[in-house]
Amino acid sequence: MKLRKVNVNTASPGQARARILVIYTGGTFGMSYDRDGVLVPFDFEYILTQLPTLKNLALDITAYSFIEPIDSSNINIEHWQLIAGLIHEHYNDQEGFVVLHGTDTMAYTASALSFMLEGLGKPVVITGAQLPISDPRSDAREHMITALEIASDQSNGVPIVQEVCIYFDYELLRGNRSKKVESMQFDAFDSGNYPALAKAGVKIDYNYPLIRKNLNSETLVLRKTFDTNVAILKLFPGISRQVVHSILTVPGIRAIVIETYGAGNAPTSEWLLSELREAIDRGVLLLNVSQCPGGRVLPGRYETSRLLQQIGVVSGADMTTEAAVTKLMLLIGEYGVEKTRTMIGNELAGELAL
Ligand code: ASP
């Protein structure tokens, strides 16, 4: 994957307020309409020409942009390793980080980065847009300017935000709690199980007690080994044994996120329980996550979840599917499936409440 590096000191010849690393991956944010009216990714220099107000921020910006910007539907593990690697490499010489990314898979990237950057004590703000920056009604300009502002905000020399977040439509959300919930309106993201970390109005109003504090911000450990032998099994009334069986017996499969109903409930049919039991006996880690965007898995509240608990399905508490699947891939890659079994229910980066 090729990168282009650009330095823009918007404070020059004056003194910059902060050094910010921007990583531009693509997405609608920087796209432009081609001759046939189709949206295609554009390069970072083009974005800069669309943002003359950048000069007022007095920031020293180093930008790495993908030479071939991508639609985020094409994001993969190598891109996450590249993004996290750049943040790790520049951790000590930058005050904050902004990642420009398509909205479609932004919540997955935010979750993955939050687990990869262990001990993060600086802001990593991911943002994108619903309309390209070239569009007069675009949300891209405000997102970029506010994301840069948040990435550089400090209180008594300490970064206010010390975690991976998504900034979108005037709200700062915890990255690994977020979900894309809207593809046409501007309020594309929500974090049903965690309130916004900040609201951007006339000023940026931080909800300080909710923001993660990193007490060990000296060292940033990069975790980057993923095991992709993971699947998602979404339940629906009428799901057939064949479908369940084929997912549970995929060759090499190590873990499966089961998207259950409500507070973690599943049908009590004997065939389903025996398929799940057999998978667990084969060493497959089964993780129970709810289809509801708000609330949590409460094992044993209903008979329909008690049976899952009894056979050894692990509770995913109030994790999003995006957080669950990225956490599983990374933990299994780094520590193996047995250790993951005990680690998966622990809070690592604010992704769940016990
Ligand atoms: N398909 C685009 C992407 O995720 C959508 C967006 O950026 O809003 O890259």
pLDDT tens for each residue of 67-118: 888 999 999 999 999 999 999 999 999 999 999 999 999 999 999 999 999 9
Structure tokens at 80: 């996450």
- Report whether 17 contacts 151 (CB < 8 A): no
Instruction: Name, in order, each residue with C-beta under 8 angstroms of 203's C-beta and a sequence gap of 6 or more.
Output: none
Does ligand 1 come within 6 angstroms of the Cβ of 72? yes
Does ligand 1 come within 6 angstroms of the Cβ of 104? yes
Q: How many CA atoms lie within 13 A of 39 on its CB side?
A: 17
Tell me the pTM: 0.96
**Which residues of the chain have a pLDDT value below 50?**
none
Give dist(CA 351, CA 173) in Å, integer.
12
Phi-psi map region of 309: left, alpha, beta (phi>0 left; psi -120 to 50 alpha)? alpha
Residues 295-319: pLDDT tens digits? 999 888 888 888 999 999 999 999 9
Q: How many CA atoms lie within 13 A of 22 on its CB side?
A: 31
Structure tokens at 172: 């700062």
| Ligand 1 atom closest to residue 129's alpha carbon, by position in its atom list | 8
Kindly give the distance from the C-alpha atom of residue 284 to the centroid of ligand 1, in angstroms, as a whole number.
33
Sign of CA dihedral 74, 79, 84, 87: negative
Beta bridge partners of 8: 61
Between the alpha carbon of residue 222 and those of residues 141, 161, 162, 219, the distances in Å are 31, 19, 16, 10
| Ligand 1 atom closest to residue 183's alpha carbon, by position in its atom list | 8
Give dist(CA 3, CA 206) in Å, integer.
33
Does ligand 1 come within 6 angstroms of the Cβ of 326? no
Spell out the domains of the chain, with CATH numbers in brackets: 3-222 (3.40.50.1170), 230-343 (3.40.50.40)
| Ligand 1 atom closest to residue 73's alpha carbon, by position in its atom list | 4
Which residue's C-alpha comes closest to atom 3 of ligand 1? 102
Give dist(CA 337, CA 341) in Å, integer.
6
Instruction: Name, in order, each residue with C-beta under 8 angstroms of 181's C-beta and a sequence gap of 6 or more.
Output: 187, 188, 189, 190, 293
Does ligand 1 come within 6 angstroms of the Cβ of 176? no
Per-residue confidence (pLDDT) for residue 217, from 0 to 100: 62
Per-residue confidence (pLDDT) for residue 50, from 0 to 100: 82
Q: Judge if the upstream peptide bond of residue 136 is cis by omega within 30 degrees of 0.
A: no
Structure tokens at 235: 């339940």
105 is catalytic: no
Beta strands 171-174 and 164-168: pairing type?
Answer: antiparallel
Kindly give the distance from the C-alpha atom of residue 72 to the centroid of ligand 1, in angstroms, as a whole number.
6
Structure tokens at 117: 């950057």
Give dist(CA 15, CA 59) in Å, integer.
8
Per-residue confidence (pLDDT) for residue 218, from 0 to 100: 72
Does ligand 1 come within 6 angstroms of the Cβ of 73? yes
10, 25, 28, 103: the active-site residue: 28
| Ligand 1 atom closest to residue 106's alpha carbon, by position in its atom list | 4
Kindly give the distance from the C-alpha atom of residue 267 to the centroid of ligand 1, in angstroms, as a whole number.
36
Kindly give the distance from the C-alpha atom of residue 166 to the centroid of ligand 1, in angstroms, as a whole number.
14
Crossing angle of helices 321-335 and 106-116, rounded to 10°: 40
Largest interatomic CA distance in the chain: 73
Per-residue confidence (pLDDT) for residue 216, from 0 to 100: 67
Residues 248-273: pLDDT tens digits? 999 999 999 999 999 999 999 999 99
Q: What is the DSSP string of 4-36?
A: EEEEEETTTTS--SEEEEEEEEESGGG-EE-TT
Q: Is 243 helix (H, G, I), strand (E, B) or coil?
A: helix
Give dist(CA 318, CA 234) in Å, integer.
16
Structure tokens at 100: 């420009």
Using alpha carbons, select from 99, 27, 89 the residue that is nearest to residue 63.
99
Structure tokens at 321: 């599917």
Kindly give the distance from the C-alpha atom of residue 103 to the centroid of ligand 1, in angstroms, as a whole number.
5
